[in-house]
Structure 1
Amino acid sequence: MLLLWTVALRWRLLGNPLIYNDEDFYLYIGGQLLKGHLPYVSVWDRKPFGLFALYAFFHLFGSWRFWAYQLGAVMAVWGTALLIKNMAQSLTKHVWGAAFGGFLYVAALNMYVGYGGQAPVYYNFLMALAFWLLVRQWPDAPATKGKLRQMGMASMGLVGLALTLKPTVVFEGVYLGLGFILLGLHNHLKWRTLLSDSVIWVLCALMPTLLIIGGYALSGHGHEWWFANVESIFQRHAELEPHNLKRFLRLVLIMAAVWPLAWAFHIRFTAIQKSRFALISGWALAAVVAVVVVGGFYNHYNLPLLLPFCVLLPVLFDNRITTLSVAVLGIYMTVAGEAKVIRQDRFANRHDYDAMVKVLSQPEGCVFEYDANPILLDATPTAANCQLTRWPFPAHLGLPREQGALGVTPNEYREVVRVLSQHPRYIVTDDFTEMGADNQPIMPQDRHLLDVINRDYEFAYGHRLKDRYNVIIWRLKSGLQPHTHP
């Protein structure tokens, strides 16, 4: 049932190349990785290496790569929902209530752009499996020294894999490790044993990342890894959009209602259920802390919160009033989330992508994207083989908060000037009539790009979103020759 539910809520977007620019960019970097171009060195971004490696696997499917990552996401969501159901069953006697937690998770993902292949869609499965290994033993299942060590190694190893997809899971990972230590204390294991086990567990969690760092260091690119994954994060200019914060707070308030409702309506727990409820509540708080520490509060940052809270909410099925309130929440999230899926498919779909690829094939050439949403950098074989810049993500070179945080020499403006001096065959932008909208400052590179487009390029394609273009493809005017070739 959960698999059918997952497919039913996501089928409309299966095979759609224009779901979200993040996962399209991961696919592009994955393809570049397969060509031998190392992330952070030849192509720059600050996402962790494991994410690019995962999408490199999906890129192996060629023209079916969009289907590959989206079907991979379906399986990850289904697996996570099953684990949520299993953990929720340890909190409540209501079987359908526990199943509701899994159904709610699948529906709620669509509310926060989780209908594609955002990183949390994948690492939520790893974290759910890691916590399940602890929850099923909590609080007093007999665990010998060897058994506890092995469970902890498996669980923290899963956290280690998740860290290569998103480093912020470290907060949940630390909490999970403390849980295993407490389980050891409850089983009266010696401090010396627990100390040695803790070291092993930490190493299991860090090992995948240490292997990646070691690989970069041995190849002489340790500094590039460090700058992209650590330094550049702290060099970004702070920018908080109020509507993002409001959306985050609204979700936390809705989900956190499980605690006062459980108290006010005297939800009944056995001693074991009460202890497990407290354990998973701490997990939920750790997930909230991770989002707060990172900041930004972008829509997809909410996705990790859904996992622990969807495990907790089924306890409310013990009371008619709270059951009704949770059911209303489930209906709302299902309808609202599916409305977002339908809207996304209507505004950007396979037909639109094919039209863009057709334009970029007349003739094929290098593509420079600047502040554009779809990733068309590998839409044609010729474009995929171009290396116009180390900083190909469309929003980086012109985004005010990224100025000085990308490691560009001498600066972002000069890099844009350098790229445009190569006369790429195509430039992809959003609607430049919107320059300065939303109180965003107009950057010098914005003006230079507009001057070059007006002088050397012609309109080739426009994709409308309501009353404006959200994608424009500009083609180099006839008579002008590109100075760059793949």
Structure 2
Amino acid sequence: MSATTVTISYGDVRRNIRHPTLEMLPGWWPFLLIAVFCFLLRLPTFGNPMLDYDEQLYLVVGDRILHGQLPYVDLWDRKPVGLFLFYAGVRLLGGNGIIQYQLIATLCVAITSSVIWSIVRRNAGALQGFVAAIAYVLLLNVLSGMGGQAPVIYNALTACAAWAAFRSNDTQSQPRIASLAFMAMALMGIAIQFKYTPFVEGIFLGMWFLWRLWKVSMPLHRLIPMAAAMIILALLPTLAAIAYYAWIGHLDAFIQANFISVFHRKPFPVETHLLQVKFVLIKAICVIAPAPWALILRWRQSNPAKLEDFWLLAGWTVFAVAGFIMLGDFYDFYFITVLPPLCILVAPLVRAGRMGFFIICMLCLWPALLTPPNYFRTKAYEKAAQQLTQAITPYVTDRCLYVYDGPTILYLLTHACSSSRYIYPDHLTNPTEIPALGVSAEAEEARLLASRPGAIVTADRPLVPRVDSGTQKQVQAALARDYVLVARVSVIERVIYVWALKDLRHRAAHIAGHGS
């Protein structure tokens, strides 16, 4: 076969697509090309302070960690502490951390995409690998992964762990497989500290490595301690977090937020779940629809030497889907964790002919067409954030800020203290989240409002479909009694209101009058 042929080969089925340029370039070219593509594709979003909702909270908590506050104790959320430590590290890079976290997230996307390319190339051509890698990057924009959502970060770790599992299929050496297993379990242990659901994929990868060791004749008396060592290694970061909170006397707060709270969340209505599933299917149909076809094709055309790769990919896909389903809620960004194995799975469908061209269009054009409008509105978001910051700052120099409904990033941009440890608006407004807090939401709202925040932020319409009426009435009463509207800022899809404490507003007006 000539050097100018990219071969898609499964068994006796061979389809050749001639790409002389691809095959003549040096071995590092795909990774450089993928990295450049990731950077250019995500470039329009750099600097957007309101790119998504969750990562605003992560950045604020990361910033507050550097100022001595503790997750779960001073600032409540149920995400593992590793995610907040990651964002604390981002804050050390300087600036306000916004463009910094977006650049680091882009690096994580480039790593994941490069691993996707590498795994695809085990059994397919360069074109297939490149299309799969690019499809992953494009689909992130559709599934609320434009910025630094947790799976955008930990997918890089999970993909590298899966790559180690694939590499274990290439050797019969017990020490080599064991070293790959330890590397994979260490990576999965870190991934679990970004979100606990990757433990499902970690279980599968752990079982795969044990099966590979058994296949190369590792005796049972060595296999059992090997399994124990792998489990301990995967759990080590979480055990370290538990030990630290136990040492400082806040283990109860850690356990409540990380483990107990998830079981106390009120489930969404069936119609909400159906709507979530519908949105995920529509957004990711380009990889979901061809997946069964691709799986059957791989099974029929896999030669015996590559059968282990087939079962590894099939198992990874199934366990990734199981991790997505077990969450109970089907937010679009939860599906990001399923994208790497799915993109790898459907890659062989990219081939010569009309059907191959159709698959390429599906994988690349479909997510491009569904890219949300806010992707291109960074300047508008930056302007809105600046206006809100200027409106709020005069009233939070000596008092705290309360974002009842609005961008959490305002705590960071205004350098304001928070009136409650529940700084994410969803926690005190969403009936689904309120039962998980471990405290009475109405009592916390009353305490918060009694502290008389210098400014309160609200919106013209709620972000969530349902709003808790008890806390809402308390806020409305406080605004009518003690606050005056000082700013009204349009933030693309909503109007954000800034309310100032009347005493502070009158004092500011008095000072301004004397100054003139």
- TM normalised by structure 2 equals 0.85
Name the counterpart of 2:84: 52
Pair 1:218 & 2:250 matched:
no
Q: How far, CA to CA, are the matches of 1:236 and 1:230 in structure 2? A: 11
Q: How far, CA to CA, are the matches of 1:350 and 1:75 in structure 2? A: 23
Q: Which of 373, 376, 379 is the aligned partner of 2:410?
A: 376
Q: Is the 8 A contact 1:268 1:318 kept in 2?
A: no
1:267-416 alignment to 2 at 5 Å?
268-318=301-351, 320-342=353-375, 345=378, 349-365=381-397, 366-381=400-415, 383=416, 386-408=417-439, 411-416=440-445
Name the counterpart of 2:104: 72
Name the counterpart of 1:105: 136
Q: Which of 172, 177, 182 is the aligned partner of 1:142?
A: 172
Q: Which amino acid aligns with 2:252?
A: H
1:72-91 alignment to 2 at 5 Å?
72-91=104-123
Give the deviation of 1:475 after TM superposition: 1.5
Q: Is the 8 A contact 2:60 2:408 kept in 1?
A: no
Q: Which of 48, 51, 56 is the aligned partner of 1:24?
A: 56
Q: Which of 445, 449, 458 is the aligned partner of 2:475?
A: 449
Q: How far, CA to CA, are the matches of 2:449 and 2:506 in structure 1? A: 13
Q: Is the 8 A contact 2:393 2:414 kept in 1?
A: yes
Structure 2: which 5+ runs fail to align? 1-32, 508-516
Name the counterpart of 1:243: 275
Q: How far, CA to CA, are the matches of 1:201 and 1:319 in structure 2? A: 43
- TM normalised by structure 1 equals 0.91
Give the deviation of 1:322 after TM superposition: 3.9
Name the counterpart of 1:15: 47
Q: Which amino acid aligns with 1:447?
A: K
Greater CA deviation, 265-274 or 10-19? Answer: 265-274
Pair 1:175 & 2:204 matched:
yes
Q: How far, CA to CA, are the matches of 1:8 and 1:339 in structure 2? A: 17
Q: Which amino acid aligns with 2:149?
A: Q
Give the deviation of 1:37 after TM superposition: 1.1
Give the deviation of 1:357 after TM superposition: 1.2
Deviations 1:364-402 (A, max 9, x none): 442101132443112223x0xx24112111111121112
Deviations 1:281-333 (A, max 9, x none): 21011111111111111121011111111111111124534422321212333
- How has the CA–CA distance of structure 1 residues 437 and 268 changed in structure 2, closer, same or farther, with 3 Å as cutoff? closer
Name the counterpart of 1:458: 484
Q: Which of 194, 199, 217 is the aligned partner of 2:228?
A: 199
Pair 1:471 & 2:505 matched:
no
Q: Which amino acid aligns with 1:101?
A: A
Q: Is the 8 A contact 2:46 2:99 kept in 1?
A: yes
Q: Is the 8 A contact 2:402 2:418 kept in 1?
A: no
Q: How far, CA to CA, are the matches of 1:177 and 1:422 in structure 2? A: 51
Q: Which of 119, 123, 138 is the aligned partner of 2:150?
A: 119
Secondary structure at the aligned position of 2:497 is classed as strand
Give the deviation of 1:255 after TM superposition: 2.6
Secondary structure at the aligned position of 1:463 is classed as strand
Name the counterpart of 2:449: 420
Q: Is the 8 A contact 2:298 2:310 kept in 1?
A: no
Secondary structure at the aligned position of 2:85 is classed as helix
Q: How far, CA to CA, are the matches of 2:268 and 2:167 in structure 1? A: 41
Give the deviation of 1:137 after TM superposition: 2.5
Greater CA deviation, 420-429 or 164-173? Answer: 420-429
Give the deviation of 1:480 after TM superposition: 6.6
Q: How far, CA to CA, are the matches of 1:264 and 1:133 in structure 2? A: 24
Greater CA deviation, 193-202 or 371-380? Answer: 371-380
Q: Is the 8 A contact 1:280 1:308 kept in 2?
A: yes
- How has the CA–CA distance of structure 1 residues 112 and 267 changed in structure 2, closer, same or farther, with 3 Å as cutoff? same
Deviations 1:408-436 (A, max 9, x none): 2xx111211111112211101111xx479
Deviations 1:220-262 (A, max 9, x none): 1111111101111101111142321212345676534233245
Query: Number of residues paired by the alignment?
Result: 469
Name the counterpart of 2:70: 38
Q: Is the 8 A contact 2:185 2:233 kept in 1?
A: yes
Q: How far, CA to CA, are the matches of 2:247 and 2:310 in structure 1? A: 46
Greater gyration radius: 2
Greater CA deviation, 114-123 or 309-318? Answer: 309-318
Give the deviation of 1:278 after TM superposition: 2.4
Name the counterpart of 1:160: 189
Identity of aligned residues (%): 28
Q: Is the 8 A contact 2:59 2:87 kept in 1?
A: yes
Q: Is the 8 A contact 2:55 2:149 kept in 1?
A: yes
Secondary structure at the aligned position of 1:391 is classed as coil
Give the deviation of 1:403 after TM superposition: 2.6
Q: How far, CA to CA, are the matches of 1:191 and 1:84 in structure 2? A: 34
Greater CA deviation, 183-192 or 121-130? Answer: 183-192
Q: Which amino acid aligns with 1:100?
A: V
- How has the CA–CA distance of structure 1 residues 413 and 195 changed in structure 2, closer, same or farther, with 3 Å as cutoff? same
Greater CA deviation, 232-241 or 175-184? Answer: 232-241
Deviations 1:321-358 (A, max 9, x none): 44223212123334225444535537x52121111111
Q: How far, CA to CA, are the matches of 2:372 and 2:281 in structure 1? A: 22
Q: How far, CA to CA, are the matches of 2:314 and 2:360 in structure 1? A: 21
Q: Which amino acid aligns with 2:229?
A: I
Q: How far, CA to CA, are the matches of 2:456 and 2:307 in structure 1? A: 59
- How has the CA–CA distance of structure 1 residues 480 and 44 changed in structure 2, closer, same or farther, with 3 Å as cutoff? same
Q: Which amino acid aligns with 1:287?
A: A
- How has the CA–CA distance of structure 1 residues 356 and 63 changed in structure 2, closer, same or farther, with 3 Å as cutoff? farther
Greater CA deviation, 151-160 or 422-431? Answer: 422-431
Q: How far, CA to CA, are the matches of 1:152 and 1:320 in structure 2? A: 40
